[in-house]
Amino acid sequence: MSGGGPRYEPFEQKQVEPESFLLDVRKEKIDRVVEQRTRTFTVVLDRLEDSFNMAAVLRTCEAMGVQEVHIVINPEAPFLPNSRVAQGCDKWLDVKQYKTFAECREHLKSRGFALYASAIREGAASLYSLRFDSKIAIIFGNERYGVSEEVLAGVDGTFWIPMRGFSQSVNISAAASACISRAIAWREEHLGKVGDLTPEEAQALRERFYVLAVKQRKRIFKGKQP
């Protein structure tokens, strides 16, 4: 007995929309997240080597609404965030990797970003003096050596986190968390909001998140994977 035929065509041609698999409360959550996402404030990680730190920064970025994270790969330590720490947060992010800082810088500069590196050096500005009302990328360096000389030569400025105790340095993941929280709080206080996606960007991200929120997405949406 042969298969197929006209009786099967409506089923075969019917397109399944991701939102049909989601409860309204889940779609509302996604909509709120998208509304608070930013692509004009971003984070660059320069040659990190610890998988815990990699994951911790990604998780902070996702939690605070930072959509993009840029990675300058350490040739001696592949970018492999600890999955137990990340807890899948990376699937919601745009994580872009580069072989060199020059590639990363060129990409961000072409989009109008100002670049500031975290570094304790003469002339560095206090984190609390920075403004976050334009496109800005903040850069964090290697756990042992900090940002590279190439980074220092190619940024628009450097900044440091003022500290009040005997300790004058913190772990990279803690530093990133403090700086990201400061930037997001500054925007909310001075601009009245954090999210800044265009309507087109918001719709594209919403559709992508709808697919990602479906547990059986790989089986259901074979040709619609983000």
Annotated binding site for S-adenosyl-L-methionine: 118, 161
Residue 160 to residue 167: CA distance in whole angstroms: 14
Query: 182: burial class by Cβ within 10 Å (0-12, 13-18, 19+)?
Result: middle
CB 213 within 8 A of CB 10: no
* Residue list for the binding site: 118, 161
- H/E element holding 111? none
- State the maximum Cα–Cα separation within the chain, in Å, rounded to a whole number: 82
Q: Are 125 and 157 in contact (CB under 8 A)?
A: yes
- Residues listed for the chain: 226
The two tokens of residue 207 are 């559709």
Beta strands in the chain (DSSP E): 41-46, 68-72, 94-98, 114-118, 125-126, 136-140, 157-160
